[in-house]
Amino acid sequence: MFRRVVLGVCALALVASGCTGDGSPDAGSKPAILDLPTPEAHAGGEIAPTPVPEGRATNEFELDVETCFNTYEFYFEQIDETRERTTVVDCRRPHDGEVYAIYDHPAEQNFPYPGGSQLREWSNIQCLQSFEDFVGTPFVLSLLQIGSVAPGADDWDGESDASDGTKVRSFRCYVFAPDAQLSGSMGGSGF
């Protein structure tokens, strides 16, 4: 599952100024922030269709720098559980986020899991330091938010279901726009 760490709140006045894309499904390579599509209305009690994932499914720890991705949630009634699926998509297509930096935690392989709050603090510092170099705008003036993919205790210890026993010490920093999707790479976009 994605373990998201979100920094701060974007300047709402800037969002309200209308810096959004045209909302088309393939806006091209010019960077844009797209409004989310309006959900289809369904007749009384009708269940909305399950989303069809676009792109190649991947483990979030396999996302590379300048990789764009979507995250989908699926509810499985039989086991009463919601699961996430991450897919890699072409950055020219609407996407949920773009990885802009990867950092390895300096802890030794046998170091015990330090806990979520300590890892969030460490990743926040790393992601914030590299944000402006990637986007071209200081974080406090940006329309974008920062998230990170951080290892949980099972990933850290190499015991997660998706793990082959490898202990995960890497963090992925990514940009996203709250309640919107991105189109084009955000690298140098000034957003």
Kindly report the pTM of this predicted structure. Answer: 0.75
From the list 135, 152, 150, the residue with the least C-alpha distance to 188 is 135
Q: What is the pLDDT of residue 157?
A: 84
Residues 6 or more apart whose CB falls under 8 angstroms from that of 9 comprise: 145
**Residue 140 carries which DSSP code?**
G
Phi, psi for 23 (deg, rounded to 5) = 75, 5
Which tokens sit at 2?
């994605």
Phi, psi for 132 (deg, rounded to 5) = -60, -40
Confidence of residue 129 (pLDDT cuts 50, 70, 90): very high
Give mean pLDDT, residues 5-27: 35
Q: Is 34 exposed, middle or buried (0-12, 13-18, 19+ CB in 10 A)?
A: buried
Decide if pLDDT at 23 tops 50.
no
Average pLDDT, the chain: 79
What are the Cα distances from residue 28, in Å, to 116, 180, 184, 187?
Answer: 38, 16, 7, 15
d(CA 34, CA 94): 8
In whole angstroms, what separates CA 166 from the centre of its chain? 23
Helix, strand, coil percentages in the chain from 3-state DSSP, rounded to 5: 20, 25, 50
Decide if pLDDT at 41 tops 60.
no
Percent of the chain with pLDDT over 70: 74
Decide if pLDDT at 18 tops 70.
no
For 135-168, what is each residue's pLDDT tens digit? 999 999 999 999 999 988 888 887 766 566 678 8
Decide if pLDDT at 48 tops 70.
no
